[in-house]
Amino acid sequence: MRDATANPATTPHASTPTRIGYVLKMYPRFSETFVVTEILAREALGADIEIFSLRAPVDPRFHDSLARVQAPVRYVPRVRRAEDLWSALAAARAELGPLPDALVRQLLAVHAEDAAQALAVAVAARRSGVTHLHAHFASLATTVARLAALAAGLTYSFTAHAKDLFHEQVDDGDVARKAADAHHVVTISEYNARHLRAIGVEQDRIRLVYNGLDLDAFRPRPDLPPAATEARDGDRELHVVGVGRLVEKKGFAHLLDAVALLRRGHGVAARLTLVGGGELDVALRARAAELGLTDVVTFTGPLPQPRVREVVAAADVLAAPCVVGADGNADGLPTVVLEAMALGTPCVTTAVTGLGEAVVHERTGLVVAERDAAGLAAALDRLRADPALARSLARAARRLVEERFDARHQAAQLQSHLPSAPLLEEAVA
């Protein structure tokens, strides 16, 4: 029996070429474009990747970039009965050898389905030559990746985002325990890094790697940003766009209030396009009708990435009035904000979590207090009334994205953090 005190995470296979197993709750997922962008960028650097999806996709919509992913996808079987875990343990033992008693106790301490999937990933990873596992989100995917790595004698890492850190149901101790066994922990903002340190994660395990963009796909328009167009009455019309799931943390209810204030209090011919779907769809449509905005607010529903890109590029401003939800849920650093910055569309947002690391007030965008519809309306009107300011902010935002959020550099950072991985930054210089 393997020594129960041994920690495979400290003994990487230094002499073996790295093959990375991505452990994801669901792949592909329409809202998680950042995962696809990351995998594509790592593959472009020569990374050898296999994807383990714990759930089959349920959304028939897919982004076109998926077609370029080379990594094979393995959908991990799910057990339906607790007693099936014993069969999974027997099968894993035949492939992996005896498991340490301490690990068996940990497998029995989690949900039987999660434990069985961890064993299935361990066996599949061993058979396919995977040497390192990486999970996105510190919740289910990392639970499975951690146990699979310990069972197979592999190293693992995970990326911590937002809901997996800040939701009221998150167990900080569980996150810290997962980090303690990990080779390293990636997180997407300095705000998140501070939080991880506060809950007991060691500084030397934390790697700050911002989500990146394929900047070739997000080129700014020559007239960066588009000038506000003339409305029929001679006033300058303002086209505002908001993109994201229609849930509380996106703050779109406050955006509707701001548009109403623009039209009634500021006399601005403002219109709004909301891109996305979600649990608040009906409530937000009702709110728009209550405010008398039915004719000037367009709800598009979810759109494929190329179409989102077109809508954001054509708008005068992107509004991301994010808030901390009643359940503690908050955005990390929404990808659409980075996309708007790359496209040359000025941004107005709030200082929730890591947003201030991209949208710096009066340098790369405008920042207002969360839940402040009046302040949001004033910021939107300021960009309408001062096209020179809008263009200056947009140009600075594009420069920042090029410096800090290029997916090629993000991929090189991720590769460099692997056990015994060579530094690849020069490959993208």
Name the CATH superfamily housing domain 8-212+406-428. Glycogen Phosphorylase B; (3.40.50.2000)
CA angle 188, 248, 168 (to 5 degrees): 65
Averaged pLDDT for residues 169-190:
97
When pLDDT is averaged across residues 391-413 and rounded to a whole number, the result is 97
pLDDT exceeds cutoff 90 at 44: yes
Give, in order, the Cα–Cα distances in Å from 88 to each of 33, 104, 141, 165, 228.
Answer: 33, 12, 18, 30, 61
pLDDT-based confidence at residue 62 (cuts at 50, 70, 90): confident
For 259-273, the pLDDT digits (tens) are: 999 999 889 999 999
Closest to 122 measured CA to CA, from 100, 93, 101: 93
pLDDT-based confidence at residue 17 (cuts at 50, 70, 90): confident
Non-local CB neighbours of 213 within 8 Å, separated by 6+ positions: 37, 335, 338, 339, 342, 401, 405, 406, 407
Burial of residue 196 (CB within 10 Å: 0-12, 13-18, 19+) is: buried
CA-based angle 28:29:31, to the nearest 5?
Answer: 145
20 pLDDT above the threshold of 60: yes
- Tell me if residue 208 falls in helix, strand or coil: strand
Question: What residues pair up with 26 in beta bridges, in sequence order?
Answer: 55
Unique residue bearing structure tokens 């328009």: 221
Alpha-carbon gap, residue 110 to 148, rounded angstroms = 13
227 pLDDT band (50/70/90 cuts)? low
Residue 337 neighbours by CB distance under 10 Å: 26
Is the confidence at residue 145, as pLDDT, over 50?
yes
Q: What is the pLDDT of residue 230?
A: 47
Count how many residues are written for the chain.
Answer: 429
The pLDDT of residue 293: 98
Judged by DSSP in three states, 170 sits in coil
Confidence of residue 226 (pLDDT cuts 50, 70, 90): low
Give the distance from CA 31 to its chain's centroid.
8
Decide if pLDDT at 423 tops 50. Answer: no
Work out the average pLDDT over 356-365.
97
CATH of domain 237-404: 3.40.50.2000
pLDDT confidence tier of residue 221, bands split at 50, 70 and 90: confident
Residues 6+ apart with CB under 8 A from 113: 78, 79, 80
What's the distance, CA 140 to chain centroid? 15
pLDDT at 323: 96
Q: Return the domain boundaries, the chain.
A: 8-212+406-428, 237-404
**pLDDT average, residue stretch 369-391:** 97
pLDDT digits (tens, 9 = 90+) for 334-354: 999 999 999 999 999 999 999
pTM (two decimals) = 0.88
Q: What does the alpha-carbon distance between residue 66 and residue 44 come to, in Å, rounded to a whole number?
A: 14
Query: Model confidence over 286-343: pLDDT tens digits?
Result: 999 999 999 999 999 999 989 999 999 999 999 999 999 999 998 889 999 999 999 9
Residue 7: per-residue pLDDT = 38
Print burial letters for 68-102: b (CB count within 10 Å at least 16), e (below 16): ebebeebebeebeeeeebeebbeebeeebeebbee
Q: In the structure, what pLDDT confidence band is assigned to residue 425 with cuts at 50, 70 and 90?
A: very low
What would the mean pLDDT of 126-152 be, rounded to a whole number? 97
Between 35 and 227, the higher pLDDT residue: 35
**What is the C-alpha separation between 1 and 93, in angstroms, rounded?**
11
What is the pLDDT of the chain when averaged over all its residues?
90
Question: What integer pLDDT is reported at residue 225 of this predicted model?
Answer: 61
Q: Could you check whether 8-212+406-428 and 237-404 share the same CATH topology?
A: yes
> pLDDT grade, residue 232 (50/70/90)?
very low
State yes or no: pLDDT of 15 exceeds 70: no
d(CA 161, CA 173): 16
d(CA 32, CA 55): 14
178-194: average pLDDT: 97
